[in-house]
Structure 1
């Protein structure tokens, strides 16, 4: 398997004059973004400074910050802004970030939710968690050192998680005497990395998180050679992730039977929309029904969209259990026993070839055999053949299930295309994964969604075959033709 082809990158920096993208209003869903990069590149300080300069720090928090910063003030007499994010005792004692810290703030134009993620290699799994729901990634680089291995790892994970908007914040630029040439070199290096990741929207900004330069306020006095946007201006203009291209998806969490005359199926809509009267199919059974009613905790709804927690009532009794998926009749996910996926290894115990794990996706848990196939070399950006995936490795693997699995490709739907692997012996989470598509399995049917098998049926049996369970289950894999000579 080779890495997918990638589009050309548009690296937006001080020399670009591209039109600003349209941003959503302040009353829309907040923009979710993460800060990531190598250890000690200043992620927590940058976000702390952003909160401070946007007046998101309340008076009591400011007073506590002043107390906690005793003895830690910098040469400018400012408090330790990182303490606004690093709330755990161990984080404050060691001066590092361990867990993901989420903070809410807003400007006059927009609201934001930021996830500050750890830079240490051993906490890569925490960074992957923060990236899984983000619209944009702010990748920090120390202006003195440039791109490091962990920088590349975080950028790669963010891209694999579907993030297509990056801000390259070249931090601590003041410690290089505002070296313009050094900044340009780092920007070029990141452009080459972005090309390998398929990221085509990158904004490069030289910043000093400590001094607050180019965070909220422009720093033209110290960097007259930079006339691009500040960080907050880029965030205000950023776009949110586009809507899912799949049809309706509801992973059943619970069957509700409060009384004799009511049977509802509860869960959170993870794709598309639904309204009463729509036709749906229950997977993996393939039973079809129509939506009779959509109920929430306080009312009956006329429709539901992705992200809504609902109880779905169907027009006929159907045998549905936790872990089943109710989907749009005409836009079904992929079903099968053989899939390919990308993995981020999160456990000291390597992903072993042919080992059986529990795979947890939504409310469904299944046995799966995992066979690693490739490992990404973070230095060269190339995929190398591999039979095992050690801690923090990024790789590809074949997944073989004991029974039919239900997925969308991760690029199509994050909720129904993501999963975790659990070691059955220790119950530890050993990897996070993203479905690429189906593979060919022993039955010879296409599993990658690219090819179809042509099935020729006698003309007089054509309609009956199309209505069969086999034809419905493999609708995306087979092409049916009639044999007129029969």
Structure 2
């Protein structure tokens, strides 16, 4: 009787797995080259019966790709589809695969381990909920391991599975596993990650992947990888106001004017008050149109045409946002960068910055660079290929962003070299720089941001006195309710 009560209590306290009808968990495999990322995913697909019959037959027939005397197929071939990948035995591009268990469905991205393909790894991490970081048990934690972990963290991933792979090649040594997992946990803390599950495994043999490896590793009492994935959580919805980066102005005739784009955050419905940035013009939503119907509301991810209640000057690259929760507007921002070009990011050089549908000129000033060996941020005047650093962005005109932690869509950007038109860096906005006493990073501009109730903002902007200050003052409209709340907090 006591045993039954204890079992019932444990069942009640156990985390409830996501249902099959929920959004699939998105995960990536990352780590250094030859750590077994493609083999691990291939084994996951094989053991969860996600491999189609023709693929299974092809693998079993192809004796040229036997990995060892065990007669097992080369599971990596399920992921490495490019001819160059098969010839060189490496992953170059990101490969996405779908698989499911009785409890949950998954979308997994196999990302390359080579340094020269770091940009592809960052692409895979940008939409993932969880990262499976592989480490070869014989080699331990490498610089590329730390780089991938840091990039995944910058991309907002907070759940890590440390897969200590090829444990069979070190005779299932528990001491080695404990040393590697301890070293990684210490590094993870330095980049702000606390949710780490370490698993010893052999991807080739399938031990602790889908099926437990207790026969070979009786000292490990934790779950296999697939059980950890079944209980993982998804990224929480980012709570921001409505965001619509305008991609196109639709004007088929004189009776219709709509602003098209994909909702990048929040939600909107007819009657909502919105502000057009960077101009600051306020209007109300009259209608929400899609390709086949008129809608009562739109949410993040919806492609819509927004019709406003009056004609306003809106162009591609502008943003239509919630009046009470607008993005930060300014000419200076702090950001974190991943350098993706052999040409270093140098201090003071001007680049094109592209975010959503907007492209602007910006001057980049590197501030610090992450030492991947010590985990410390050090002063830097440039960022070479694959370096991770913090920078100051100084724009020629007003820019608008949300912090990346708040909204990935409006907080991410790329830098483009104007001379070569190559993408040289990917970045994440940290915050808008606050100018004190009119001094910015370059010391060239005086700038003031005022948040005022709508009627006061309109009166000020219409005044003759404001015309002389227009280049130095930015007006952000807020509702009367929001203004009253701010004044109450001040009092």
TM above 0.5? yes
Aligned to 1:234: 228
For residues 32-83 of structure 1, the C-alpha deviation after alignment (integer angstroms, 9 at most, x for no partner) is 1100001110000000100111111101111232344524342221110001
Residues 4-57 of structure 1, C-alpha deviation per residue, up to 9 Å, x if partnerless?
Answer: xxxxxxxxxxxxx99654443211211111000011100000001001111111
- After superposition, what is the alpha-carbon deviation per residue over 1:217-248, rounded to whole angstroms, capped at 9, x for unaligned? 11111111111111111111111111112111
Q: Aligned residue for 1:114?
A: 108
TM-score (norm 1): 0.89
**Residue 290 of structure 1, CA deviation:** 1.1
In 2, Cα distance between the equivalents of 1:22 and 1:398? 44
Distance 1:112 1:195, change over 3 A: same
Secondary structure in 1 matching 2:360: strand
Q: C-alpha displacement at 1:123, in angstroms? A: 0.8
Q: Please say if 1:472 is aligned against 2:475.
A: yes
Task: Report 1:88-127 matches (<5 A).
Answer: 88-127=82-121
Q: Which residue of 2 aligns with 1:272?
A: 266
Contact 1:142 / 1:172 at 8 angstroms: preserved in 2? yes
Partner SS state of residue 113, structure 1:
strand
1:441 deviation in Å? 4.2
Give how far 1:104 is off.
1.1
The CA distance in 2 between the partners of 1:326 and 1:290, in whole Å, is 11
Does the C-alpha gap of structure 1 residues 216 and 467 become closer, same or farther in structure 2, counting only changes over 3 Å?
farther
Give yes or no for the alignment of 1:343 onto 2:334: no
- The CA deviation at 1:316 is 1.3
CA contact (8 A) 1:454 1:480 kept: no
1:146 deviates by 1.1
Mark the CA change 1:65 to 1:260 in structure 2 (over 3 Å): closer, same or farther: farther
Tell which deviates more after alignment, 21-30 or 369-378: 21-30
Task: Please list, as runs of the form range in 1=range in 2, the aligned pairs for 1:68-467 lying within 5 A after superposition.
Answer: 68=62, 70-441=64-435, 444=438, 464=456
Instruction: Indicate conservation of the 8 Å contact 1:375/1:389, yes or no.
Output: yes
- For residues 63-119 of structure 1, what are the alpha-carbon distances to aligned partners after superposition, in whole Å with 9 as ceiling and x for unaligned? 232344524342221110001111000000000111111111111111111110011
SS of 2:217's partner is coil
Runs (5+) with no aligned partner, structure 2 = 1-10, 442-446, 462-472
**What is the SS of the residue equivalent to 2:93?**
coil
Q: How far, CA to CA, are the matches of 1:443 and 1:109 in structure 2?
A: 58
SS in 2 for 1:473: strand
Quickly say closer, same or farther: Cα 1:71–1:158, change in 2 above 3 A. closer
Q: Is the 8 A contact 1:445 1:453 kept in 2?
A: no
Instruction: Return closer, same or farther for 1:467/1:216 CA change in 2, 3 Å cut-off.
Output: farther
Distance 1:399 1:222, change over 3 A: same
Change beyond 3 A, Cα 1:124–1:351? same
Q: What corresponds to 2:467 in structure 1?
A: none
Question: Root-mean-square deviation (CA), in Å?
Answer: 2.7
Aligned to 2:469: none
Kept in 2: contact 1:74–1:80 (CA 8 A): no
Question: Are 2:162 and 2:199, in contact at CA under 8 Å, matched by a contact in 1?
Answer: yes
Distance 2:440 2:20 in 1: 46
Distance 1:261 1:69 in 2: 67
Cα distance 1:23–1:315, how it changes in 2: closer, same or farther (>3 A)? Answer: farther
The alpha carbon displacement at 1:324 in A equals 0.6
CA offset digits 1:168-218 (Å, max 9, x no partner): 111011111111111111111111011111112111111110000111111
* Structure 2: distance between partners of 1:117 and 1:427: 25
Is 199-208 or 429-438 further displaced after alignment? Answer: 199-208
Q: SS at the partner of 1:244?
A: coil
Counting helix residues as a fraction of each chain, which structure ranks higher?
2
Over 3 Å counting, the alpha-carbon distance change for 1:202 and 1:19 in structure 2 is farther
Given that 1:205 and 1:228 are in contact with CA atoms closer than 8 Å, whether structure 2 keeps it comes out as yes
Structure of greater relative contact order (alpha carbons < 8 Å, 6+ residues apart): 1
For the 8 Å contact 1:337–1:441, the answer to whether it is kept is no
Deviation at 1:294, TM superposition (A): 1.4
| Number of positions where the alignment pairs a residue of Structure 1 with one of Structure 2 | 458
Note the residue ranges of structure 1 that are not aligned, 5 or more in a row: 1-16, 482-486
Partner Cα separation in structure 1 for residue 388 and residue 45 of structure 2: 33
C-alpha deviation, 1:446, in angstroms: 8.9
Deviation at 1:319, TM superposition (A): 1.4
C-alpha distance in 1, partners of 2:221/2:186?
23
TM-score, L = length of structure 2: 0.88
Specify the SS of the correspondent of 2:186: helix
Q: Offset of 1:419 from its aligned partner?
A: 0.1
